[in-house]
Amino acid sequence: MQINFGSRSVSCKIVYYGPGLSGKTTNIQKIHEQMPSPRKGELTSIKTEGDRTLFFDFMSLDLGKIGGMETRFQIYTVPGQVYYNATRKLVLQGADGIVFVADSGPECMAANVESWRNLKDNLAERGLEITDLPVVIQWNKRDLAGAISTDEMNATINDIDAPTFEAVATEGPGVLETLKSVCGIVCRQLNERQAKMASASKASPPAPVAPAATPASAETMRFVSRRRSTTQTTQKKKGTSTVGPTHAQAPVPPKTHPRTPVRPVHATRKRSRSWWSKMFVALGIIAAVLGIAAALYGIGLW
């Protein structure tokens, strides 16, 4: 989520999750179809030749100005196939709300359960419980013959008492209702989160401003040393550890972010005076050799 008081905008991320072929992409396609043109962005799909989502589908939904803020929802779908779990984790990053699209097909209960468990596992890897985020469940493909009853699906999957909606994404029913529900919950929680933080800040007076844990030059050094790796560099050398400083400098205490874990950083290496003197000596020797070679060449001995 991003609240930008400069551009007066609020942007929230909604992720459609679920087993393969449950209808996540169909949902976003239907949403895109039904939105009025000025308010919707292009639908971007990164998919295989077989039309299976490879990375994600994405569209932006612009609700216009609400409370003086341009309000946007970025809607993503994840690839549902088991093989693409690593990609699902990437897309799930920063989600503000989740729609779990379950397949009501008669043989699909196991896949639904597996995907629900996978969602919880992927959230747990980020330190989140499934109850930490707004989650809405959609029982899709209600038009299938032999569709599993919603009571059975609810009892088996919905262990968090999330709001549920029946849908037939290919035709449209239930699609917009599901989206409305998750967007509404996300925005209501925004207000609650703000109110909580405001009251917490009023309850305890702000601590006196302490000097930054990492002085600016150390920040710059840490940034520069981390940027040694680019797409063109090779792998780390054998035997070198990437943990802790590589030079005898006092380790710089890292600045902590609430969401991102603290990572060890490399310390930059200062060149000592003896190193420079050795370099000059080496350059001198090379120059001398070249000079001798040139001289020999000049007198015809080489």
Partner 1 sequence: MSSDADLKNARMVYYESDMAELETVLKRLLDLSRAKRALLIDIEGHMVATCGDGGDQTDLENISALVAGTFAATKETAKLLGEEEFSVLFHQGETDSIQLTLVDDRLLLGIIFDDATTIGMVRLYASETAKKVMDVLGREHSGSETSTMLDDDFGESVETELDNFFGE
Query: Token digits for 134?
Result: 């707004």
A 10 A CB-CB count for 21 gives 17
Site string for partner 1, 211-240 (x = CB under 8 A): -x---x--xx--x--xx-xxx---xx----
Q: Residues 92, 8: contact at Cβ < 8 Å?
A: no
Alpha-carbon torsion, ordered 213, 216, 222, 227, to 10 deg: 140
Can you tell me which residue has the tokens 């693409």?
84
Nearer to partner 1, 156 or 214 (CB): 214
Question: Which of 45, 71, 156, 170 forms a contact with partner 1 (CB under 8 A)?
Answer: 71
Distance, in Å, from the CA atom of 18 to the CA atom of 25, rounded to the nearest integer, reads: 10
Judged by beta carbon, residue 108 or residue 187, the one nearer partner 1 is: 187
Give 37's DSSP letter: G
Residues between 235 and 264 that touch partner 1 (CB under 8 A) = 235-236, 242, 255, 257-260, 263
Site for partner 1 in 28-47 (CB under 8 A): 34, 39, 41-42, 44, 46
189 binds partner 1 (CB under 8 A): yes
Please, which residue, 76 or 139, has the CB nearer to partner 1? 76
CB closer to partner 1 out of 145 and 200: 200
17 is a site residue for partner 1 (CB under 8 A) = no
In angstroms, rounded to a whole number, what is the distance separating the alpha carbons of residues 194 and 206? 17
Shortest distance, position 128 Cβ to partner 1, whole Å: 14
Query: Considering only 141-149, 208-216, 244-252, 281-289, which stretch makes contact with partner 1 by CB under 8 A?
Result: 208-216
Is residue 128 involved in binding partner 1 (CB under 8 A)? no
Pair 186, 44: CB distance under 8 Å = no
What does the DSSP 8-state code read for residue 84?
Answer: G
Q: What is the smallest separation between the CB atom of 177 and partner 1, expressed in angstroms?
A: 8
In this structure, what token pair is assigned to residue 119?
């969602």
What's the one-letter identity of residue 218?
A: A
Minimum CB–partner distance for residue 235 and partner 1 (Å): 5
